[in-house]
């Protein structure tokens, strides 16, 4: 199950990392960038970066159940909320991507004891 955890975190790193890169650089890429209308996208870019880099926190601190529960609970909440937001603005790719990650992290949260290193179980 530990491999499933890091597979989901790797997918999260890839998807959220690319998204964050695209959105954080938006002011440089968009000639008509307006902070009042596009600023929220840049803010989400930094939130996506934080979610993407969570894999490094799990690698260092994911060896006990309370840390694992906190991290998986946070990622589950983030992706469930993003599914709702994507549904509200009719963004099917976001619904699919965040939906897959939400299901994965909710499942891993429920099975978190099995995600611990063998020595910690």
* pLDDT level of residue 97 (50, 70, 90 thresholds): very high
pLDDT at residue 22 greater than cutoff 80: yes
- Cβ 63 vs Cβ 72: under 8 Å: no
Burial class (CB in 10 A: 0-12, 13-18, 19+), 117: exposed
Distance CA 116, CA 15 (A): 24
pLDDT at residue 81 greater than cutoff 80: yes
Please write the tens of the pLDDT for every residue from 44-62.
999 999 999 999 999 998 8
Written as six digits, the tokens of 108 are: 């891993």
Query: At which residue do the structure tokens 């440089």 appear?
Result: 28
């Amino acid at each position: 199950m530990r491999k499933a955890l890091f597979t989901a975190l790797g997918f999260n790193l890839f998807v959220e990392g690319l998204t964050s890169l695209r959105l954080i650089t938006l002011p440089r890429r968009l000639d008509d960038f307006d902070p009042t209308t596009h600023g929220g996208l840049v803010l989400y870019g930094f939130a996506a970066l934080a979610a993407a880099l969570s894999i490094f926190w799990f690698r260092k601190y994911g060896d006990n159940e309370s840390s694992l529960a906190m991290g998986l609970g946070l990622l589950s909440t983030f992706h469930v909320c993003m599914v709702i937001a994507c549904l509200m603005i009719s963004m099917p790719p976001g619904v699919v991507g965040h939906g897959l990650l939400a299901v994965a992290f909710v499942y891993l949260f429920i099975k978190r004891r099995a995600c611990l290193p063998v020595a910690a179980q």
